[in-house]
Amino acid sequence: MATAKKVALISGANKGIGLETARQLGKQGITVLIGARDLAKGESAAEALKKEGIDAEAVKFDVVDAADIKAAAEKVEKEYGKLDILINNAGVMFEPIGGNNATAVSDDVLRKTFDTNFFSVIDVTNAFLPLLEKSDAGRIVNVSSILGSLTLHATEGSPIYEAKALAYDSSKTALNSYTVHLAHALKGTKIKVNSAHPGWVKTDLGTDAAPMDVVDGAKTEVELATIGPDGPNGGFFHLGEAISW
């Protein structure tokens, strides 16, 4: 039997933006499942949240491991009977920020980046769709990046015009395309799908050079995860503002 409380699963949630997203959702009374490749790190993060009064549980969840995805979906179904929020937060970047590596990026970097940032999102989402369909208001948040915006990349003078890391940027462009397509496929249901640009945030990926703190970086994910029935579907947002595709 499905639990009455809302349940959220966040991939890559044992640190950084994912963990802060779990914290902010948990403070709203939502049960948060901490997806982590390393279960011990996930359990440590969950214990820290529990000390703050948050209902949290760690789930071993390597998004590029089919067995992990299957086991996680089975666990959520058995223990909770549904899933209300899926946040595809896990992501990787193997390239330096700045410059243009279009003629130099390796096949290996391209494939590893797309495996995590794009293909795994589809695999994970498909695995959890049956549980999201059992929710009264299923929400899927794909964590993208402004670096996935083709409009801004093609516009001279835009904030990202000179920052062209091909593997990462194009993986997020592909992710945005998936958001549009999935939202259209589910438009007759109670499930809403949106892309989030957290901002340039001080994390392991964003580095200390980033201007935003993690508390603010999680806000867009949390907002899209908790939108009402009149909220957007198939959009790309940062702190409530739409971003050009």
pLDDT computed for residue 175 by the predictor: 98
Instruction: Read off the tokens for 231.
Output: 């909220």
Domain boundaries, the chain: 7-91+112-149+174-242
Q: For residue 143, what are its two tokens? A: 């964590």
Whether the Cβ atoms of residue 10 and residue 22 lie closer than 8 Å to each other: yes
User: Is residue 81 a contact partner of residue 3, using CB atoms and an 8 Å limit?
Assistant: yes
- Whole-number Cα distances in Å, 87 to 10, 138, 211: 5, 11, 23
Buried b (16+ CB within 10 A) or exposed e, 210-225: bebebebbbbbbbbbb
How many CA atoms are closer than 13 Å to the CA of 203, on its beta-carbon side?
24
How large is the angle between the packed helices 120-132 and 66-80, nearest 10 degrees?
A: 20
pLDDT of residue 215: 83
Q: Which two tokens stand for residue 137?
A: 């208001």
Note the pLDDT of residue 97: 79
CA distance 167 to 173: 10
Phi, psi at 153, each rounded to 5°: -65, -30
Residue 183 burial (C-beta neighbours within 10 Å; 0-12, 13-18, 19+): buried
Residue among 138, 146, 140 at smallest CA distance from 122: 140
Question: In which residue ranges of the chain is pLDDT below 50?
Answer: 201-203, 206-207, 210-211
**Which tens digit of pLDDT belongs to each residue from 98-119?**
899 999 999 999 999 999 999 9
Q: Which pTM value belongs to this model?
A: 0.94
CATH 3.90.550.10 fits 7-91+112-149+174-242, yes or no: no
pLDDT of residue 212: 58
φ, ψ for residue 171, nearest 5 deg: -65, -35
CA distances from 176 to 4, 104, 169, 207 (A): 31, 24, 11, 24
Residues designated catalytic:
168
